[in-house]
């Protein structure tokens, strides 16, 4: 390829141009200097330079066309149209066209700029020496002198009362910032300790409502190996605060053959093997219900905390710090499953004031 | 001939002879072995239970016991109902290919007539969920899609993923993808709770709701186009993040290295 380079434009002795010096014999750590500057093809061959110029312009022109294509597809393509594109599958034609044209338009601006910089802009290496960042001794002494003079003139060291009250006022000012944090809201008080099941009392129990059918359930409805989700009576999915309340009240109901329940207290809280556990993970409060009916393990999809529902929802793996709280359930005179009170410990993640 | 006798004492000669002998044995076996598929006698519907018992004795009894009473290798089948047989055998999960954390889906080796016979036999052992009829799991009401979606997100999405793509459980178990699964099999799985899936009996999830869920799952996993393209398995942030970090950033790094290292210097020589 060297035949179309004009030899006379090549620098004859670029190796000895100033900053390039050969290391002295016997000193292996001498500054080797910069490597020799080598011209690019476009520096010495005007035709190559012209070609690079055309290439850069072509990229910018295609980018322009792609932008026009973007606008055209926005106007022309029906947003409901679905096309098959391998390997993406059945996708929206509009999405595909907008993404491709905008992607091409932006990519070619970048590619053109890079190509321009690499082939046509100056590529002379410029060394930049590093300098110490501290000021020289004279300036530093002057500053220290001024500081001492100022301190002496203010009498800061002599008038101790002023000094101490100043320190006191400076120390107290940040307190106003702390007080402003109060605006973040009223303290949660005991809201974290109770759920919607608190309204249930032995005299006036709350029925467990099946979240699929919105009806109360009898014990016969829950069979061994099944999984059912329940919410307290009186809560409706169209309530304004439904999401906030269900985030604490949600139950998962499982039935385990009584001889397989290892935890005595858990067996007592349940009804003939039907156990009502909080659905809220005690780690950071994800809804958990990846229930394995043979092992009786419930898994949290967020951080893999695993609870053994046959053993009082003991944590057998993962970061959760507490077993899942269990709600005491009985049946009322009509045979429906009801709760007579709240969980005996807070549901969901731990917090500072939590009793245990 | 001379060449052959010269190689007779080659160290690998014994191995070659062994391989030839094995190939010959295998070939003869393939040619003369009896066909292992028994032909079902469709005419004898009244004898379905008897026929099913014979099939059961051949294919299932080694784990589940001759009378389906169960053994140390397999659970009792008394009261699982015909729906469980239709699901387990129809999806190829039974007979199980090997014991393990989970029995995977594989190619079904029985005809539907044979499955019905086995189901009839197992149903005769004790009452249980009955194989659903086509109108039970085929929805015609377009509203069922949205209702089914709500029910799916409440009851199923935690394990099977919001797009029905399945997900991991504990200790090697997993919730399989629902893509391409028969409507009937989805319905039966909800009825019977196969393996570690909890069951959703009609008492807590009425038939109508099961039908709605089937409609939603079939639509989401089979019919619904994906407007953005490149779903990456619809598994959510894990695959998307992995793709972004490895392929997205990888491509950017590769381009940066190429831009910086690949200069167009001309050499004099």
Q: Tens digits of per-residue pLDDT, A201-233? A: 898 999 999 999 999 999 999 999 999 999 999
Cα(A257)–Cα(A225) distance, integer angstroms: 9
- B227 interfacial to chain A (CB closer than 8 Å): yes
Residue of A nearest to B263 (CA): A118
Check CB contact of B112 with chain A, cutoff 8 Å.
no
Under an 8 A CB cutoff, do A290 and B199 touch? no
Which tokens in the block code for residue B70? 């169960």
Residue A25 clears pLDDT 70, i.e. is over it:
no
Distance (Å, whole) CA B119 – CA B131: 9
- Which residues of chain A does B227 touch, with a Cβ-Cβ cutoff of 8 Å? 82, 91-92, 95
C-beta atoms surrounding A67 within 10 Å: 17
Q: How many residues are there in chain A? A: 356
pTM: 0.71
The C-alpha atoms of residue B48 and residue B123 are separated, in whole angstroms, by 11
> Distance from A316 to chain B by nearest Cα, in Å?
11
Asked if the Cβ–Cβ distance from A293 to B205 is below 8 Å, we say no
Nearest CA in chain A to B170: A299
B159 at interface of A, judged by CB pairs closer than 8 A: yes
Token pair belonging to A108: 């070619």
Q: Which residue has the higher pLDDT, B14 or A240?
A: A240
Whether the pLDDT of residue A321 is over 50: the answer is: yes
- Residue B205, chain A, CB below 8 Å: the answer is yes
Cβ–Cβ gap B195/A89 under 8 Å: no
Inter-chain contacts counted by CB atoms under 8 A, chains A and B: 122
Closest CA to A195 of A16, A348, A353: A348
For residue A262, count CB atoms less than 10 angstroms from its CB and return exposed for 0-12, middle for 13-18, buried for 19 or more.
middle
Q: Give yes or no for residue A21 having a pLDDT over 70.
A: no
CA atoms within 13 A on the CB side of B199: 23
Q: How confident is the model at residue A41, as a pLDDT? A: 87
pLDDT tier at A101, thresholds 50, 70, 90: very high
Burial B126-145 (b: 16+ CB within 10 A, else e): eebbebbeeebbebeeeebb
Angstrom distances, CA of residue A192 to CA of A52, A197, B61 = 69, 13, 54
**How does residue A102 score in pLDDT terms, banded at 50, 70 and 90?**
very high
- Across the range A290-306, mean pLDDT stands at 92
Q: What is the pLDDT of residue A130?
A: 85
User: Residue B206 and residue A212: Cβ atoms within 8 Å?
Assistant: yes
Q: Is cis: bond before B95, omega within 30 of 0?
A: yes
**Inter-chain CB proximity A226 and B199 less than 8 Å:** yes
In the structure, what pLDDT confidence band is assigned to residue A23 with cuts at 50, 70 and 90?
A: low
Alpha carbon of B28: minimum distance to chain A alpha carbons (Å) = 45
Tens digit of pLDDT at every position of chain B (269 positions): 566 666 667 778 888 888 888 888 888 887 777 655 444 444 445 578 888 888 998 988 888 988 888 888 888 898 888 999 999 999 989 888 887 888 988 898 899 989 999 998 898 888 888 899 988 899 888 899 999 999 999 999 999 988 898 888 988 899 999 988 999 999 999 999 998 999 999 999 999 999 999 999 999 888 778 888 888 878 788 889 999 999 999 999 998 998 888 665 655 44
pLDDT of residue A227: 94
Residue A159 pLDDT > 90 = no
Contact B173 A90 (CB under 8 A): no
Contacts of A212 in chain B (CB under 8 A): 151, 154-155, 204-206, 209
Query: Quick check: A89 and B226 CB within 8 A?
Result: yes
Query: What does residue A221 show for φ and ψ, rounded to 5 degrees?
Result: -70, -30
Residue-level pLDDT at B35: 57
- Look at residue B248 in the predicted model and tell me its pLDDT: 94
What is the 8-class DSSP label of residue B176?
A: P
Average pLDDT, chain A: 88
Any chain A CB within 8 A of the CB of B261?
Answer: no
Shortest Cα–Cα distance, A193 to chain B (Å):
25
Please give the Cα distance from A131 to A142 (Å, whole number). Answer: 22
Cβ-defined contact of B159 to A10 (cutoff 8 Å): no
């Amino acid at each position: 390829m060297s035949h179309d380079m004009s030899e006379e434009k090549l620098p004859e002795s670029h190796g000895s141009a100033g900053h390039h010096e050969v290391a002295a014999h016997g000193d292996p750590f001498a500054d080797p200097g910069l490597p020799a500057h080598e011209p690019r093809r476009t520096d010495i061959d005007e035709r190559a330079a012209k070609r690079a110029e055309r290439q850069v312009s072509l990229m910018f022109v295609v980018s322009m066309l792609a932008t026009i294509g973007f606008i055209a597809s926005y106007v022309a393509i029906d947003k409901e149209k679905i096309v098959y594109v391998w390997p993406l599958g059945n996708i929206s034609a509009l999405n595909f066209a907008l993404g491709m044209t905008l992607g091409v338009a932006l990519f070619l601006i970048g590619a053109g700029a890079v190509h321009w910089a690499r082939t046509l802009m100056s590529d002379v290496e410029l060394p930049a020496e590093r300098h110490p960042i501290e000021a020289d001794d004279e300036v530093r002494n002057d500053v220290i002198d001024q500081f001492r003079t100022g301190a002496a003139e203010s009498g800061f060291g002599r008038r101790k009362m002023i000094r101490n009250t100043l320190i006191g006022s400076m120390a107290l000012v940040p307190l106003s910032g702390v007080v402003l944090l109060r605006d973040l809201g009223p303290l949660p008080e005991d809201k974290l300790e109770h759920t919607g099941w608190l309204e249930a009392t032995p005299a006036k129990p709350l029925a467990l409502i099946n979240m699929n059918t919105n009806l109360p359930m009898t014990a016969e409805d829950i069979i061994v190996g099944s999984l059912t989700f329940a919410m307290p009576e009186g809560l409706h999915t169209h309530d304004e605060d439904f999401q906030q309340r269900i985030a604490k009240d949600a139950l998962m109901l499982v039935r385990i053959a009584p001889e397989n329940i290892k935890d005595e207290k858990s067996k007592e809280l349940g009804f003939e093997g039907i156990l009502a556990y909080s659905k809220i993970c005690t780690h950071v409060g994800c809804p958990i219900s990846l229930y394995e009916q043979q092992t009786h393990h419930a898994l949290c999809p967020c951080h893999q905390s695993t609870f053994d529902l046959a053993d009082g929802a003991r944590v057998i793996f993962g970061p959760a710090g507490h077993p899942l709280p269990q709600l005491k359930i009985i049946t009322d005179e009509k045979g429906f499953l009801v709760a007579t009170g709240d969980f005996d410990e807070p549901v969901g993640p731990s917090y500072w004031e939590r009793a245990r | 001939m001379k060449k052959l006798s010269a190689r007779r004492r080659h160290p690998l000669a014994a191995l070659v002879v062994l391989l030839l002998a094995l190939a010959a044995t295998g070939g003869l076996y393939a040619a003369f072995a009896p066909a292992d598929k028994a032909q079902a006698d469709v005419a004898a519907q009244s004898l379905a239970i008897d026929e099913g018992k014979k099939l059961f004795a051949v294919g299932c009894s080694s784990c589940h016991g001759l009378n389906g009473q169960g053994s140390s290798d397999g659970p009792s089948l008394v009261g699982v109902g015909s729906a469980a047989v239709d699901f387990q055998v129809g999806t190829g999960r039974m007979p199980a290919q090997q014991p393990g954390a989970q029995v995977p889906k594989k190619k079904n080796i029985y005809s539907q007539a044979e499955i019905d016979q086995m189901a009839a036999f197992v149903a005769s052992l004790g009452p249980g969920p009955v194989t659903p009829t086509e109108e039970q799991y085929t929805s015609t009401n377009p509203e069922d899609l949205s209702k089914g979606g709500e029910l799916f997100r409440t009851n199923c999405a935690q394990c099977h993923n919001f797009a029905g793509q399945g997900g991991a459980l504990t200790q090697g178990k997993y919730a399989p993808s629902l893509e391409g699964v028969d409507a009937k099999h989805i319905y039966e799985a909800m009825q019977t709770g196969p393996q570690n899936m909890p069951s959703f009996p009609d008492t807590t999830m009425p038939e109508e709701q099961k039908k709605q869920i089937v409609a939603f799952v079939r639509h989401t996993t089979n019919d619904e186009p994906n407007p953005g393209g490149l779903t990456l398995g619809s598994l959510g942030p894990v695959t998307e993040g992995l793709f972004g970090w490895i392929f997205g950033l990888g491509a950017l790094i590769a381009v940066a290295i190429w831009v910086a290292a690949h200069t167009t210097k001309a050499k004099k020589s």
